[in-house]
Amino acid sequence: MLVSSYNIGTGISDITGPITQIMLMGYAKKGQTGQGILQRLWSRAFIVEHNGTRLVFVNTDTQSVDSIIKRRVVQKLQATFGNIYTEQNVMLSSTHSHSGMGGYLQHTLYEISVFGWIEETVIPMVNGIAQSIINAHNHLQEGTLSLSQGELLHTNINRSPQSYLMNPQEERERYEHDVDKTMTVLGFKTKAGHDVGL
């Protein structure tokens, strides 16, 4: 395990948005619309600052994140913080959940599957992502990052093992399994030793 000291901040905020009558993102199956809430969808923000350079990583419970969402989030942050947060130091990612509503991707193929752009999905997503970053910003403090890796078995499968076998033999020989079984965890801990994020 590798451990180093930085200024760190973590924050979380709800991005659930509308819960009914909008197509779920990613399945492209007519009639597969939200019918209520099993669990809320979240945006989790992590800020790392070292020697005056700041980086934000955000993981959202969405199918993916589009550049238009990022632009709106950065604009919202800049209205409060000026140029502390930019398109160069804010990175948005996703868990690839298909449990959230669609209508927030600006590319036609994705929008056809959910019948177009849906601002009612976009607004809470942008607001929630920005708020998670604001929460992380407000909790910036000295702390440490730790990096760990391990093998995680019996948790995932290859959905198309036959297709995997179409890869060149020399490529397949580089790996023990037909899916990645390595889990990498970045841990955030305060100077006082309290875990605040993974």
pLDDT tens digit string along 73-111? 999 999 999 999 999 999 999 999 988 899 999 888 888
Instruction: Give the pLDDT score at 4.
Output: 74
Contacts of 109 by beta carbon, 8 Å cutoff, 6+ apart:
none
Question: What are the extents of the domains in the chain?
Answer: 2-142, 146-197
Q: When comparing pLDDT for 15 and 26, which is higher?
A: 15
Total length of the chain:
198
pLDDT tens digit string along 130-163? 999 999 999 999 999 999 999 999 999 999 999 9
pLDDT tens digit string along 18-66? 988 888 898 777 888 888 899 999 999 999 999 999 999 999 999 999 9
Q: Contact, 15 vs 125, CB < 8 A?
A: yes
Instruction: Give the pLDDT score at 79.
Output: 98
Answer yes or no: is 50 a known binding residue. no
How far apart are alpha carbons 162 and 108 in whole angstroms? 31
Confidence of residue 2 (pLDDT cuts 50, 70, 90): low
pTM of the shown model: 0.91
Q: In angstroms, what CA-CA distances link 41 with 124, 129, 167, 170, 188? A: 11, 11, 36, 41, 22
